[in-house]
């Protein structure tokens, strides 16, 4: 696990914010922390979208005292490619691993489009790790 230097020219780079990198067994996930030292809020964009979609919400949450973190999903933005899998359990496992990487405390999880499905998966697998779920335009199968 390491933190990178600031990246400014990469797709999905956040102007004025440092990109941090989290090494997973198959690749690297890029994320941005917006500060705050309160409860963790992990924000995940939809498929084909970038963590920069939270560029306004992240600072607002940090100003309200939350520790806000936005992540690029596997193969999106500044996260690496290729990965062996891009399915719900694989991305859900990334969420659980990211929670560990960020200190292990329970978190509020926010996701749009595809991201709610792995968020729900992570919450079902480890409910004690989740404070709340915010599912925006979710693609979630009822099974």
Rounded CA gap, 30 and 44, in Å? 11
Structural contact between residues 72 and 55, judged by C-beta atoms closer than 8 angstroms: no
Q: Is the pLDDT of residue 72 over 70?
A: yes
Owner of token pair 């996260």: 79
Domains of the chain, first to last: 20-136 (3.40.50.1820)
pLDDT in tens, 85-126: 999 999 999 999 999 999 999 999 999 999 999 999 999 999
For residues 2-12, give the mean pLDDT. 43
What's the pLDDT at 14? 54
> With 80 as the cut, is the pLDDT of residue 7 above it?
no
User: Which pLDDT does position 2 carry in this prediction?
Assistant: 43
Q: Name the helix (H) or strand (E) containing 121.
A: helix 116-125
What rounded mean pLDDT belongs to the chain? 89
């Amino acid at each position: 696990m390491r933190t990178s230097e600031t990246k400014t020219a990469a797709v999905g780079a956040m102007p004025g914010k440092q990109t941090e990198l989290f090494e997973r067994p198959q690749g690297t996930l890029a994320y941005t922390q917006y500060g705050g030292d309160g409860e963790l809020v992990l924000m995940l964009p939809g498929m084909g979208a970038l963590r920069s979609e939270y560029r306004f919400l992240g600072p607002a949450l940090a100003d309200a005292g939350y520790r806000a973190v936005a992540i690029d999903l596997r193969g999106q933005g500044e996260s690496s490619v290729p990965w062996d899998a891009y399915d719900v359990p694989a991305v859900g496992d990334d969420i659980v691993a990211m929670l560990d990487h960020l200190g292990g405390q329970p978190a509020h999880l926010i996701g749009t489009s595809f991201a709610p499905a792995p968020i729900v998966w992570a919450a079902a697998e480890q409910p004690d790790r989740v404070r709340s779920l915010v599912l925006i335009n979710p693609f979630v199968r009822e099974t």
